[in-house]
Amino acid sequence: MPYIKVPEFQSNEIIDPDQFNDAFLPFTNMNLDGENFMDQSLGPDQIPANISLTDTSNITRTVNSFGSQSINMQTDFTFDPLQSTSSSYSGIRKSKVNHPGLNHIKLTGLEAGEKFIIRVSCAIDIQDGGWRTYYHGIPPYFKIGLVQFPGESSADLTEGSSSALTKPLHSTVAHYRVAFTGKVPSASSISQEASLEHDPNTKYLDQNYNSDYSYRDNRFGEDGEDYDPRTNKSGMPFSGYHSYTTAYLHEQGVGDNSTQAFGVMCWFGGQSRGMESDGDSGGIDGCRSPSKDEPAIIRDFKLFVYQVKK
Amino acid sequence: MPADPTILAPVASGDVVSAEDIRDRFQELENFVNGGIKQSDLKVGPSFTDEEKKIFTTRHIQKPEFYSIANTRVQGVSADIFYRNRFLSSFNRYVRHEITGNYNTGSDGFSESDLNALSHEAWTPIDGMSTTVVVKGTSNVSAFVNGSLYAWAGGGSDNIGTKLKERYSDSGAGGGAIPNDVQRSASRRITQCGKYIAVFVLYVDNLDGSGPQRQDSTHRRLYNRGERSYPFRKTQISFADRVTLTPGPNKISYRCIYRMVQDNSIAFKHVFIDNRNFFVDVHYK
């Protein structure tokens, strides 16, 4: 059947009854084919009764969320579950190191061919530790990604637990780093005049250590103003704040364990001070141990799963 | 069957058609077009043969859209999908000005608790990242909301205005500006670069009288740029969430609030929200 063209009626014109009838009568005797349906016109009402998109019978734990969780900085890769060359991770899982909040969702009673979409979203907050105070300094980076725990349940995923079957899902892995950092109080910090512009809450100088250290200025070499020998400093300006959102399709394979858990694991490290650690140095040499190893924070975390059925 | 011929009855010359009759006719048409079409109305026999099935093609099926990871694993499911897609264009740019919906922190800095205490009315829906979903039936359904945007701050002013050529010279020394001005302006820029200028969060209103409800796990922040000195503060913001919708209309919006130290803070400028994507997958069954 062709498209129905409704006559155009003008204001203040007398309506011809034939035109009026042309507008309505075709609807009383219709024979529709595909041409009469607009694109994407078949919606949920046309889904047959035996189709389900939200079957939850296999999903023992559907969602995991938390507000914030600290992740401590590491100095080696011992607890890094996301190394690009490994297909598994047999090391231990720790809440504040590589498995934030021991998060996971859990699927049970799985059969080959069943499919699930797992999504995760969070923000990653990394403090500026002043790693670029020295030229050779390198700020840390944050790795995060989905990990599969075949055959494990909530009782298995405890602090310090491990399994050689733990499998990083590399297609979901992301790395975050701000290439720049501020400079901790050192020979490079701001002058008295600039410092005076700031109220105590925002200045980068720590009077808690010594009220005399309200500013430093070494423009005049060793005869310059006092310096702050503190080695730790927080509240610097180049903190990183990153969104992480990913999704993964799990298709249960033949011979796979009928119980599967998934969670997000991470690792925080890779930093370099660029100078040897020496907390006693200062003044024109600057402090040689610039960073307090402040943890990264995973914020507003949500992990969830749903089954895909046909 | 087709539309009711008694309602869409033919008229003759001289007949008076009442307003009620017009309303009834359009009501009947709406009922027919919006779900009233039966198999008997289709140009097919009592049962669909393989040939007859060809009257419907994939274009008739609700388009499956999925956010997925950057590989080939994409799985489409039939669902009710609402989406917005804004391509790169200055005409599609959404600009947050400080004149509405801002939140003053004062000199105490960013306060999560103060922010949480604000009314939902203080948060402005981002253009292109809102939708109304009418849930059919009588049961609550899950909706999977995904959104991403590219946001950045205009930069603000350090209020000293040293020029680049004044700060540096070819010899490596200062370019003529008063050293303290150079240091002071740099200090101001870097300070402002370390402050959040905007915050984003998803709100869902089930229209049950309790008002829009904040979805905490979608909270995201944006840093200021310190007089445009720090391009790396341009940020890709993304979130994924699962929310519950109730029968009838539900309003979903990703919202933004502009943060200032005080109303006349010139260290903050505008927030630009460029490319946006917003998907709501409603799973009915």
Exposed/middle/buried for A226, CB within 10 Å: 0-12, 13-18, 19+? middle
Q: Distance (Å) from the C-alpha of residue B181 to the closest C-alpha of chain A? A: 8
The pTM score is: 0.73
pLDDT of residue B113: 87
Q: Is the pLDDT reported for residue B248 higher than 50?
A: yes
Task: Provide the 3-class DSSP secondary structure of residue A212.
Answer: coil
Q: To the nearest whole angstrom, how far is the Cα of A179 from the nearest Cα of chain B?
A: 9
CB contact B79 to A (< 8 Å): yes
Beta strands, E only, B62-189: 80-85, 94-96, 102-104, 124-135, 141-153
pLDDT over 70 at A209, yes or no: no
Which residues 6+ apart lie within 8 Å of B38 measured at CB? B1
CB contact under 8 A, A243 and B237: yes
Residues of B in contact with A178 (CB under 8 A): 232
CB B194 to CB A43 under 8 A? Answer: no
pLDDT at A186 over 50: no
pLDDT band at A152 (very low <50, low <70, confident <90, very high): very high
Note whether A299 contacts B10, CB cutoff 8 Å: no
pLDDT tens by residue, A193-205: 555 665 555 444 4
| Cβ-contact A268, A73 below 8 angstroms | yes
| pLDDT digits 0-9 by tens, A20-32 | 888 888 888 877 8
Residue B63 has pLDDT above 70, yes or no: no
Give the one of A17, A40, A243 whose C-beta lies nearest to B15's C-beta. A17
CA distance B2 to chain A (A): 5
What domains are defined for chain B? 1-61 (no CATH), 66-71+78-283 (2.60.120.1340)
Residue for token digits 């010594």? A210
Mutate to test the interface with A, among B62, B116, B215, B224 (most CBs of A within 10 A): B62
pLDDT score, position A156: 92
Contacts of B16 (CB under 8 A, 6+ apart): none
Kindly provide the b/e burial profile for residues A164-193, where b requires at least 16 CB atoms within 10 angstroms of the residue's own CB. eebbbbebbbbebbbeebbbbbbbebbbeb
Which residue's entry shows tokens 């046909």?
A: A310
Instruction: State ipTM.
Output: 0.73
Q: How many CB contacts within 8 angstroms connect chain A with chain B? A: 217
| Average pLDDT value for residue range A87-95 | 95
Spatial contact of A295 and A72, defined as CB atoms under 8 Å apart: yes
**Among chain A residues, CA nearest to B282:** A44
Q: Are residues A28 and B5, on separate chains, in Cβ contact within 8 Å?
A: yes
pLDDT at B272 over 80: yes
Instruction: Give the residue from A1, A20, A27 with the most B CB atoms within 10 Å of its CB, the best one to mutate.
Output: A27
Tell me the β-bridge partners of A303: A64, A120
